[in-house]
A and B are shown apart, each in its own frame.
Chain A
Amino acid sequence: MNATAKPVLFGHLGKRSEPVITGLEKVARSRPGVERVLDRVAGIVFARGGKETKTELPRGAAWGWSTGFIPNRREDLGDFDHILVEFGDNGAILHGSQSGTLPLYILESREGVTFSSDLDALINSCAHNIKPDYAGLGQMIAASGPFSGRTTVAGIQRVQPGEVLNISATGEIEKQDEWRWSALSPRGSTLDAVREALWEHIQVVTREQDVISMLSGGWDSRLLLAGAFHVAKPARLTAYTTSSDTGTVMEELVAAQVADHLEINHHIAFPERSLFLEDFRTFGAAVDYQTAFHVWLMPLLRAVRAQNAHEENRRPRPLALDGLGGGLFIGSSFSDEIDGGGVKEGRLRGITRYLNSESRVLRSEVANSIREQVRSDAVPIINRYLNHPYGHTLSAYVARTLPGISHAPHSLMSEVADIATPFVAPSVVQAALEMPLAAHKDDRLYGELLQGIDPVLARLTTAQEQVPWPRPHPRRIASIEVVRKLRGLVSADPVKQLVRPEFLQSTDREWQRALTTTADQHVIRGLAMLNLWHEQYHHLFSSFDLEEVYR
């Protein structure tokens, strides 16, 4: 069972079913610190950690929960990501977060909805008759992670942004889509509006907190750090940087320039080669094996954990500023580049980017089948936003940011810090998407936002603009020690049936070469994660046949 101590929330809404309650109580007993926080006719909720707010209503109660800041008053909740459970006369309502970045999984049944912020808790509460979602598995291996509401387990869905479930006391479920971002479009918003929303959000979430910046060499973390430093002015501000393992130490060097300029404490977390497998396993468990994206973040998590332990509880748990969504909503990461295939094809190619050329790693029928499955889930998303001015941003957000990247703050870093993701705060997204598209061109908003508070940081060249070629630094994931571990995971049953036999038999040197290319490395990490997922849950499967991935 998942061993990390991240905040967790789970429960059941609808008809009170003894087997379901018994399953949830079993999970609660197995996790130290989990408490029953609500117990009503229409449902039961357990939680550990996180922040909560409870409001008694005339005929019920509302209970909000988050991995980060949550205001006391219900009417102030809007700008701060949270999951909300409301109990009334005739049932309950479960609100996913507006951004959808706070993971929330549901299992529907005739008795209503069993839900959890942690997939492992949900699986273990109903530990019988689990079937893999083979399309979800393929998406975990070769896209960002299962998307479109899928997970790696059939029947368990991830709640989408703004999704609301009404559950009657007899267990009937009605779903509503209350996602407001897709209705936003340019209507003359200004830089001032973005600035005001961003600074206000940062000020509120950092108030009376020790703040940690997960500082890279890029714009997002720099802007958040500068906002905290110059506008919010927390009593204690510390920056942490680790290698993003892309073959350069430019990130660490530029981050050091930023920290040196602001004269704040800066810790560089070194990616120790011998700890890779331990890091990979810890990461997999923390993110419920739904993605293999941000394994490189593990040394940073370890550094913050060590620092917290060093403080010996003399300081409160810090707040981590995470740049999730910055590239999409402030920057221009997902502008359309028309290269002959048209807008739709260009966006699709972005989502299937790890399978756009022939895979050296996957058998061709496996790669083809996964590519088709990813496309078939991605096409409805792309069509939905095809004519939206920010259509590429919205489709990339739903199919890439949510499934793959949102886990890094909420599932991983939440173990050691409260989480704030200001770039996906509704007020910031609204101000940014109501600006003309051209206002975001070439990442210009970052410099313009920084100019008013720190002209030096506004001009400082980012790591990305200085990345050398060929990449000079040894990647941890391509080191011989890691190759030996990854070979072990990918060459084992049942995973190896997805892999080209000639790749399985190739030399360590050839594996090292594959691990220095983006697409092959991504697929190898995904396959290794599949091994860990299978190892963790195979005893709960009612059936398992990996051929379903490519049949």
Chain B
Amino acid sequence: MTSREVPKKVHFYDNAENASNIVGSAVQTIVIPGKSMGGPTELSSEIVTVFLDYEKRGLHTVLEARQRGDFYTSVAKVCRGVVVTNSEIRQEAVSLWGEEHVLSAVSAGGSDVVSVCSSLPTPAALTWRRRVRNTVRDLPGVGKILKKIRS
């Protein structure tokens, strides 16, 4: 496999093309551009549909914020963390999301954001341990046995 074919772990939410936001199984992190970058602001039914999918799969949803106003949209309020590309707004982001869920990038929209978001740990739902456990659990009859053991 060449480097160009490595499945990407980070997907930039495409405001114009909702269908492209249904992402493959390799993706672990969705970056949602803030309002100042033309990103989505309202939780319309189309956006909710893809966000429900992200949430069920346990993906990281990271707001990309350049200005304070980016923090206060409906879409921002359902993001799991934030990457700030302007150090002046970092403190406000920490106040909102908590220091463990605020990332910093030097420049907006590009490789620096990808690099920072790639450093996030694998979402708990996507670890190998969890995948193996889920596969075993879904084998015929195993669910019943596990339930019996637990009770």
A interface vs B, CB < 8 Å? Answer: 248-250, 252-253, 256-257, 260-261, 266, 268-270, 272-274, 339-340, 466, 468-470, 472-474, 476, 479-482
The interface of chain B, by Cβ under 8 A from chain A, is 43-45, 48, 51-52, 55-59, 74, 76-78, 80-81, 94-101, 123-125, 130, 151
| Residues of A contacting B100 in the complex (Cβ-Cβ under 8 angstroms) | 474, 479-480
CB-based closest 3 A-B pairs: A256-B43, A479-B98, A273-B98
Report how far A253 CA is from B74 CA in the complex, Å: 10
* CB of B61 to closest CB in A, whole Å: 8
| Cα–Cα, bound, A474→B78 (Å) | 11
Among B52, B74, B95, point to the contact of A273 (Cβ < 8 A).
B95
A470 and B125 contacting across the interface, CB-CB below 8 Å: yes
17 examples of A-B residue contacts, CB within 8 angstroms: A250-B55, A256-B43, A256-B74, A257-B45, A261-B45, A266-B43, A268-B78, A269-B77, A466-B56, A468-B55, A468-B57, A469-B125, A470-B124, A472-B59, A472-B124, A474-B100, A480-B98
Q: Are B98 and A270 in contact (CB under 8 A)?
A: no
Chain A residues with Cβ below 8 Å from B80 are 249, 472-474
> In the complex, what's the smallest C-beta–C-beta distance from B96 to chain A, in angstroms?
5
Query: By the criterion CB–CB under 8 Å, are B97 and A472 in contact?
Result: no
The CA-CA distance from A474 to B101 in the complex, in Å, is 8
B83 to chain A, nearest CB (A): 15
Q: Is the CB of B56 within 8 A of A468?
A: yes
Q: Which residues on B sit within 8 Å (CB–CB) of A270?
A: 76-77, 96
Q: A260-B43, A274-B95, A474-B98 are in contact. Are A253 and B51 (CB under 8 A)?
A: yes
Count how many pairs of residues, one from A and one from B, have CB atoms less than 8 Å apart in the complex: 86
Residue pair A260, B77 in contact (C-beta under 8 Å): no
Question: Given A249, A257, A479, which contacts B55 in the complex, CB threshold below 8 Å?
Answer: A249
Among A253, A339, A340, A470, contact of B48 (Cβ-Cβ < 8 Å): A253
For residue B99, which residue of chain A has the nearest CB?
Answer: A480
Q: For A470, what are the chain B residues with a Cβ–Cβ distance below 8 Å?
A: 58, 124-125, 130
Which residues of A lie under 8 Å from residue B48 when comparing CB positions?
253, 256-257, 260
CA distance A266 to B48 in the complex (A): 14
Could you say which of B55, B74, B76, B101 contacts A248, with CB atoms under 8 Å apart? B55
Q: Which residue of A lies closest to B96 (CB)?
A: A272
Bound form: Cα–Cα A257–B124 in Å: 26
Given A252-B77, A256-B48; 11 other pairs, CB 8 A cutoff: A253-B78, A261-B45, A266-B43, A274-B96, A340-B151, A470-B124, A472-B59, A472-B123, A474-B97, A479-B101, A482-B98
Report the minimal beta-carbon distance from B134 to chain A, rounded to whole angstroms.
9
Q: Which of B44, B78, B95, B100 has the most CB of A within 10 A?
A: B78
Within 8 Å CB of B77, what residues of A?
Answer: 252, 268-270
- Give the residue among A268, A340, A472 with the most B Cβ atoms within 10 A: A472
Chain A, Cβ-Cβ closest to B71: A270
Contact of A481 among B43, B98, B125 (CB under 8 A): B98
Q: CA of A269 to CA of B99 in the docked complex: distance in angstroms?
A: 20
Which B residues are in CB contact (< 8 Å) with A250? 52, 55
Q: How far is the CA of A134 from the CA of B31 in the complex (A)?
A: 51
**B95 lies within 8 A of A272 (CB):** yes
Which chain B residues lie closer than 8 Å to A257 at the CB level?
A: 45, 48
A473 to B56 Cα, complex, angstroms: 11
Known contacts: A472-B58, A474-B98. The answer to whether A249 contacts B151 by CB under 8 A is no
CB within 8 A of B52: which of A253, A269, A272, A469?
A253
> Which residues of chain B are near A466, meaning CB under 8 Å?
52, 55-56
B78 and A468 form a contact (CB under 8 A): no
Give min CB distance, A246 to chain B, whole Å.
12
